[in-house]
Every structure is written in C-alpha cells, then in structure tokens.
Amino acid sequence: MRSTPFFKVVGSGNDFILLDCRRRAGPADPARFARRWCDRKRGVGADGLLLVLTSAQASARMRIFNPDGSEAAMCGNGLRCVAWYLAADNGHRALTVQTRAGILSARVVRPERVRTFFGGRGTSGWESPSPTTAESTSSTRWTPGCRTRC
C-alpha cells in the first residue's frame, strides 16, 4: 500500500478526486481506483476521478473516469477543475487541455472563475469565438493537502 496525494475539487456542483500524475506515477489501474475511491459510502466520494498528465500538444492532458470505472471522453466541469489546478500550479491563465475529445481551451478570468471553450482543436474561443464554440463560466474550488492509501 502506498500513499497517494490528491485534491478534492468542485466545479459547478460536480466534485472530483484530482491526481496530478505529471511528476508522480498515478494508479496502475485508474478504473479500479475510481470505483474504490469515488464510492460515497466506502471511499472519499466523488462524481469522478481526474488524472492530470503531461502532453506534448497542450498544457496538460486530462483523463476522466466515472465512479463505475468507465472512462469518459471529456467533462466540462472536470475541465474547469483541471484548468484551475494548472493555473494555480504554473501561473498561466490561458490553458489548453488534451482530452479524448480533442484539445480544449480554458481561461481563468478571475479567482474561482474559469471560462471553458468547447469549439474543438485549434479554436481560440476567447479571441474569436466560432458559432460552434460553447462557452461556459463557472466557479471552481478545491481542498488541498488530502492524502489516501491505496
């Protein structure tokens, strides 16, 4: 059993367990980890598991697992949480996040407010939004310093 540091993050009412796997290895079986720790009665309890990974094409890569262990292509509220976490970590307000649904953009517009853009690869939503770009702004927060054993 090893200790796994994590953050409990909330974006627009959805709560997630966030693991930063850029400098430290994540769980060997993320689906199993999600089933165990997203359980609200026997685990930490969350709407999903967010893994933050390195990316050659974007600021970071996000993988999201539902509480049943299935992997989702993308989650808007999860994207907000990852963008906020990355901005706090590296100080950049404008970010791109690689997902299974493509590279998406986000911008921290003020403390606890993140604007996300779902226009697809290459869309610069805050500079010149395309008609297909969905823009959403919501609050994001997290509880740092949590740690669990898995």
Residue 148 inside a domain? The answer is no
The position carrying tokens 């990316």 is: 55
88, part of any domain: yes
In a domain, 147, yes or no: no
In a domain, 77, yes or no: yes
Which pLDDT value is given to residue 45?
93
Task: Decide if 150 is inside a domain.
Answer: no
The number of domains in the chain is 1
* Predicted TM-score of the model (pTM): 0.80
- DSSP letter string over 4-15? EEEEEEEETTEE
Q: Is 97 part of a structural domain of the chain?
A: yes
Is position 145 within any domain? no
Q: In terms of residue numbers, what domain contains 52?
A: 3-140
Q: How far apart are CA 37 and CA 139, in angstroms?
A: 24
Tokens matching residue 123: 């869309």
CATH number, domain containing residue 26:
3.10.310.10
Task: Give pLDDT, residue 126.
Answer: 35
Termini Cα distance of the chain? 6
pLDDT tens, per residue, the chain with 150 residues = 467 788 888 888 889 999 999 999 999 999 999 999 999 999 889 999 999 999 999 999 999 999 999 999 999 889 989 999 999 888 888 999 999 999 999 998 877 788 888 764 444 433 323 223 333 444 444 444 444 443
